[in-house]
């Protein structure tokens, strides 16, 4: 009987010891700490709309998304990922400054990112020229409220010096960095941003002209074509920054223009493919003013330069070569237009030149 009591006593002591050992490994969380976590919801399209109860956005009706999460037990911070989806790899700017992708470029900012390479003969030249237009629309908010980043996918060639010269050719302003780095790090960034793609034998460009815009602080991101309407992209960036009043005004302006828009395919082609680099009668931009070009160049030459400008440079066509050198070696992109579209574009330039000359004559007579 005594032996039985001793066994029971030892068993009780052992159970108490195990319980103490297990509980000593569990961090204590007070009731007050549990109640301190606040969950907040926001509209994906209108980040300024906030709610603690969820529901729908009063402006657009979209379901509000959770933007803050209950605190989790602190984990050891990963220096590579910095606790986020974005790699914190080191990159180098066009001025030779070393920066970290997440800490210095993304964290807490509204940004627009793209992948480019300076030897591109297809989308990149037009892509860069369109973003210069977008930069001008955003004005002095560039570098203060929103930041542009162009990351090369050809870092072996695109050194900081090459990127700096490329940016200067396109008259890039403040708030826009061109970045290079280790190929593996850039490939990782492209993958994490969803800007990489599977190889396509029908697309010699090698990458899609995509623009990723987002607000890291709110976690709201969207991807657009970098060749999209610049006013539309500016409006979306305005919304990312929370400037809804100006975004709404811009939307109204666009609707007013749409209501009176005289749809002309030649005008549309020029606006989307040419206007980023050229004007008709308003002086040189990145490329030459095209006023009167149909009078001084024959149609066959114009067709060739629009269809395959790179081939004309390779063949050392004297006019194409002279223009290439005059305008700082900026590569005119191969736009992939059908023959009918090329003819429509040439006819539009011819008509616009005649209209300009007519207005000029009328103005002189008056």
Pick from 23-27, 41-45, 178-182, 311-315: least confident: 23-27
Mean pLDDT over 132-157 rounds to 91
Distance CA 354, CA 346 (A): 13
The domain locations on the chain are 37-69, 90-244, 265-365
User: Domain 265-365 is of which CATH architecture?
Assistant: Orthogonal Bundle (1.10)
Q: Do domains 90-244 and 265-365 have the same CATH topology?
A: no
Q: pTM for this structure?
A: 0.57
Mean pLDDT over 170-196 rounds to 90
Mean pLDDT over 216-243 rounds to 80
Give the pLDDT confidence of 292-309 residue by residue, as tens digits: 888 888 898 888 888 888
pLDDT interval class at 73 (50, 70, 90): very low
Give the pLDDT confidence of 179-188 residue by residue, as tens digits: 999 999 999 9
Most confident region among 116-120, 163-167, 264-268, 284-288 by mean pLDDT: 163-167
Distance CA 74, CA 366 (A): 78
**What is residue 322's predicted lDDT score, i.e. its pLDDT?**
85
**What is residue 247's predicted lDDT score, i.e. its pLDDT?**
42
Task: Look at residue 333 and tell me whether its pLDDT is greater than 80.
Answer: no
C-beta contacts of 235-244 below 8 A and 24+ residues apart: 237/110, 237/112, 237/138, 237/146, 237/213, 239/45, 239/46, 239/47, 240/47, 240/110, 240/146, 240/213, 240/214, 240/215, 241/110, 241/141, 241/145, 241/146, 241/215, 242/47, 242/48, 244/46, 244/48
Mean pLDDT of the chain: 75
Report the CATH number of the 90-244 domain: 3.40.30.10
- % of the chain exceeding 70 in pLDDT: 70
Distance CA 356, CA 228 (A): 28
Higher pLDDT, 5 or 195: 195
């Amino acid at each position: 009987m005594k032996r039985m009591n001793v066994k029971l006593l030892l068993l009780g002591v052992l159970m108490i010891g195990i319980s103490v050992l297990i509980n000593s490994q569990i961090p204590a969380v007070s009731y007050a700490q549990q109640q301190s976590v606040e969950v907040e919801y926001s509209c994906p399209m209108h980040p300024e709309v906030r709610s603690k109860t969820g529901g729908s956005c009063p402006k657009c009706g979209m379901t509000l998304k959770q933007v803050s999460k209950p605190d989790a037990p602190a984990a050891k911070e990963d220096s590579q990922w910095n606790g986020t989806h974005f790699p914190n790899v080191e990159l180098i700017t066009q001025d030779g400054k070393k920066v970290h992708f997440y800490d210095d470029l993304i964290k807490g900012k509204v940004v627009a990112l793209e992948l480019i390479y300076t030897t591109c003969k297809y989308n990149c030249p037009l892509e860069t020229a369109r973003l210069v237009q977008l930069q001008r629309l955003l004005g002095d908010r560039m570098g203060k409220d929103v930041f542009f980043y162009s990351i090369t996918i050809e870092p072996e060639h695109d050194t900081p010096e090459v990127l700096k010269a490329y940016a200067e050719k396109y008259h890039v302003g403040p708030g826009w960095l061109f970045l290079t780095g280790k190929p593996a790090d850039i490939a990782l960034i492209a993958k994490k941003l969803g800007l990489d793609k599977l190889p396509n034998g029908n697309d010699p460009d090698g990458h899609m002209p995509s623009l990723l815009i987002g607000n890291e602080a709110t976690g709201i991101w969207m991807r657009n074509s970098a060749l999209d309407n610049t006013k539309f992209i500016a409006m979306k960036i305005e919304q990312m920054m929370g400037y809804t009043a100006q975004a709404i005004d811009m939307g109204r302006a666009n609707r007013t223009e749409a209501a009176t828009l005289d749809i002309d395919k030649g005008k549309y082609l020029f606006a989307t493919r040419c206007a980023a680099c050229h004007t008709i009668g308003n002086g040189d931009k990145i490329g030459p003013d095209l006023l009167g070009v149909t009078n001084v160049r024959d149609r066959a030459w114009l067709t060739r330069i629009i269809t395959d400008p790179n081939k004309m440079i390779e063949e050392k066509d004297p006019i194409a070569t002279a223009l290439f050198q005059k305008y700082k070696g900026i590569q005119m992109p191969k736009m992939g237009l059908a023959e009918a579209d090329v003819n429509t574009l040439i006819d539009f330039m011819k008509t616009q030149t005649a209209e300009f000359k007519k207005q000029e004559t009328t103005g002189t007579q008056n």
